[in-house]
Amino acid sequence: MNVEPSECGKSVERDIQNLENLTSHTIQTLKNNPGTKITEGKDLFFQGLSQIEFSRQSVKDNIKQLLEVCEKEQDNLGEIHNETMGSSSHQKIKADISQKQREKNYAEQEMLSLTDNITHKEQLLKQMEQREKIASVVAADMLPKIKNEFEIFGGVSHLKWDYNAQDNLVKGVIFRPEKKDLVPFELDHNTHSQYFITNYLWNLIGQDEEEFF
């Protein structure tokens, strides 16, 4: 049973008032009834005192309960303080906050680095696209000229390339009009140098010219 302090004070005041009323009533009874026995008045008085003592004991019990409640609330406040502001818990919370802040800062740095990397890749892609466009324009302009020069060279040297050969092979035929025959050639870049291949082809062409003159 929880009793407010103000109620306890009122109970004490009531007990005092009851005691005064009982005393006054006993005295008045003895005055108004001279034949009343002193023992009866005494019994009546002590009966009232017993009631007052019972009320006082109730007040004491209420005060005791209030003190117990206060102690319990104090213990609860101490536990809450230890949980929220205690040395170990408080330090752990601060450490967790610091760790999360470091993780946040690291994530932000990673995001900035990733953004810079993407921007750099986009710039490289634009440069490659521009070079590809330039190469396409140059190829469109130069390929006809190169093809024409190859045709002229082939007509003079009687050399015909095999464009279907593998990338590592220099392959084709040299036509010898005076002999009316074809001299095939096939040279591998992996086993012969460019210098050797060039000299070899010029020698084949030169043999045809020497025989012609």
Q: Are residues 11 and 62 in the same domain?
A: yes
Q: Identify which has the larger pLDDT, 77 or 22.
A: 77
Structural domain of 116: 95-156
Q: In degrees rounded to 5, what are phi and psi of residue 167?
A: -65, -30
Confidence label for 105 from pLDDT (cuts 50, 70 and 90): confident
Among 213, 134, 142, 201, CA closest to 174 = 201
Q: Are residues 77 and 51 in the same domain?
A: yes
**What confidence score (pLDDT) does residue 188 get?**
92
Stretch 44-58: mean pLDDT, rounded? 63
Among 172, 198, 175, CA closest to 185 = 172
Count of domains forming the chain = 3
Q: Are residues 138 and 104 in the same domain?
A: yes
Which of these ranges, 89-98, 192-201, 203-212, has the smallest mean pLDDT? Answer: 203-212
Q: What is the pLDDT of residues 112-150, one digit of tens each?
A: 888 888 888 888 888 888 888 877 776 677 777 767 766
Residue 90 lies in a domain: no
Beta strands in the chain (DSSP E): 159-161, 169-176, 181-188
**What confidence score (pLDDT) does residue 208 get?**
53
Q: What angle do CA 87, 92, 93 make, to 5 degrees?
A: 105
